[in-house]
A and B are shown apart, each in its own frame.
Chain A
């Protein structure tokens, strides 16, 4: 966590001459493949800081968290924390209602499985994601953002793919 804050701070410092975009998003996440056989639909939440290199091109850091429960409503839970570097590009950054874009990220995922009083050893694996965005103005300096992501954790023997639908909002801050 400390490293993430430091990274966000560094990005903010680099981008201090320009604007920094802060985005919060949340949405359902659906496991793809056998790794989700005993897990339910999960939740995906993200906090991202983006340095606006140009109005269209942005780069920054994000902290993504995902959590899945067990299918039977039992006590199992799989949680993932992914600090990552992000790059995004938007077609019409000035657009009030139509500003489509793409976003990609690469980072390290810490996965932890717990069930009742038990917990499997946590694992760190490389992870990436890519997706589409639709950005629009909400007024008052805020912008809404809807998106869909395909993500993959490049774990040993079995990679964990998932699909997420995201709803979020962003604002620009000047440090």
Chain B
């Protein structure tokens, strides 16, 4: 009986310690940066299924629409990001080609993610606007929905504690002139964000991006 009483505190201590090993590192996820685009020089190299690669690099800090942001080169396209006050914002720059001219339709900062991420959390952003070019009205409707689907490993199993996010973007451009019909584009993709690495995989119906190498900037 005495032995049992002596063992009881040890058993209790073991129970308490093992209870922390349930593979659910919530505070690790809270501490991690799931989209580290605020370090100049960081670079991600992705391979594209079927051949090819994509390089994403944080170039520098610039000012866009009176806000200081990070300029990111993705392939040949520039993107602009701000990560502050608990949210990640992306500069939406929507344009359309019409009669050989590039017509700006919408430019503004839109929240991309609300930190901290949690499974099931979702956000939807939409705009409805128009522009007039060469005496023709072009209407533009855009909607983006994002939902955190689950937590787990990346598809290639290389990264753990990833948040999988389902992102759907629908754009309807309509040149309001004879002979033109609304042009609808819908892109759906699942992306995996790894702690302190960022996007490690992106899967659409017809393509898969997989992170090969990540070099954080200094």
A residues touching B (Cβ–Cβ < 8 Å)? 33-39, 70-72, 74-76, 78, 106, 108, 111, 113-126, 153-160
Contact = CB atoms under 8 A, between A and B. Distances in A.
A115 B114 contact: yes
Contact of A74 (B20, B26, B86, B120): B86
9 closest cross-chain pairs (CB), A and B:
A118-B121, A118-B120, A72-B86, A34-B31, A157-B28, A118-B118, A115-B118, A71-B86, A158-B28
Given A71-B86, A76-B115, A123-B24, A117 B122 contact: yes
B87 to A, nearest CB: 6
Nearest to B33: A37
Nearest to B22: A123
Among A70, A118, A153, the most chain B Cβ lie within 10 Å of the Cβ of: A118
16 contacts: A33-B31, A34-B32, A37-B33, A38-B30, A38-B115, A76-B114, A113-B30, A118-B117, A118-B121, A126-B17, A154-B20, A155-B20, A155-B25, A156-B20, A156-B21, A156-B25
Contacts of B148: 118
A74 B19 contact: no
B34 to A, nearest CB: 10
Given A35-B27, A115-B117, A115-B121, A120 B151 contact: yes
